[in-house]
């Protein structure tokens, strides 16, 4: 329970990594436990660096093309995402959604991924960037936090937004490894 988690002392980074090496399921259980601790204000203390990101093997890593994608969207004027509702398809570990929220102050960014493990890691990365070294929320110039601006959800493309009737103003995604598979699936369904 949350109260028990608050009373437990958290393992060191080395202990966490040893636990994660046991198996994929052990790593996922450790990540779920970490997310529960970050979600609880009483247990979320951590050190902080700008855009701190965690990745696990079952999630696509930010490769060269994703950094190129980030450079490309950074060439647009500030008005492209400011006060807009945005979805990122295939958010992976969430770093592009978080970067968009930090730079452009959108109304909301929905990071969507079909991989449930990616969604968990994205939430962890969101907390790692939304909190200061004492576990307190960091507020931007509009008195909002990254937790106000970003959400991550398991979704097959835009199904989450359709089901929740979320009206999007911008959709971004850098999916070179996913789109060809999606096209094959769509063609086979016809």
Residue appearing with tokens 């730079």: 103
Instruction: Examine the pLDDT at 78 and tell me if it is beyond 90.
Output: no
Q: Please choose, from the candidates 45, 29, 8, the residue with its C-alpha nearest in 3D space to the C-alpha of residue 127.
A: 45
Q: Which of 51-55, 108-112, 146-150 has the lowest mean pLDDT?
A: 51-55
Task: Summarize pLDDT for 135-155 with one digit per residue, the tens.
Answer: 899 999 999 999 999 999 999
Report in angstroms the alpha-carbon separations of 90 from 5, 62, 94, 179: 31, 12, 9, 10
- Average pLDDT on 101-129 reads 95
Task: Summarize pLDDT for 32-42 with one digit per residue, the tens.
Answer: 887 887 788 77
Q: What angle do CA 28, 33, 36 make, to 5 degrees?
A: 125
Residue 111 in contact with residue 94, Cβ under 8 Å?
Answer: yes
* Interacting residues of 11 by C-beta distance below 8 A, sequence separation 6+: 19
Domains and CATH numbers, the chain: 64-173 (3.40.50.150)
Q: What percentage of the chain exceeds 90 in pLDDT? A: 44
* Predicted model pTM: 0.71
Question: Max Cα separation, the chain?
Answer: 54
* pLDDT of 20: 78
């Amino acid at each position: 329970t949350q109260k028990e988690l608050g009373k437990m002392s958290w393992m060191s980074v080395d202990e966490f990594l040893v636990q994660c090496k046991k198996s994929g399921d052990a790593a996922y259980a450790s990540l779920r436990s970490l997310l529960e601790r970050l979600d609880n204000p009483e247990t979320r203390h951590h050190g902080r660096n700008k855009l701190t990101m965690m990745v696990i093997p079952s999630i696509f890593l930010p490769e060269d093309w994703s950094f190129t994608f980030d450079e490309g969207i950074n060439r647009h004027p500030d008005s492209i995402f400011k006060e807009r509702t945005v979805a990122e398809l295939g958010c992976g570990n969430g770093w592009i959604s978080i970067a968009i929220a930090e730079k452009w102050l959108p109304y909301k960014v929905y990071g969507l991924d079909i991989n449930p493990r990616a969604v968990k890691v994205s939430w962890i990365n969101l907390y790692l960037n939304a909190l200061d070294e004492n576990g307190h929320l960091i507020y931007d110039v509009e008195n909002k936090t990254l937790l106000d601006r970003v959400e991550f959800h398991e979704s097959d493309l835009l199904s989450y937004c359709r089901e929740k009737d979320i009206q999007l103003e911008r959709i971004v995604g850098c999916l070179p490894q996913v789109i060809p598979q999606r096209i094959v699936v769509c063609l086979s369904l016809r």
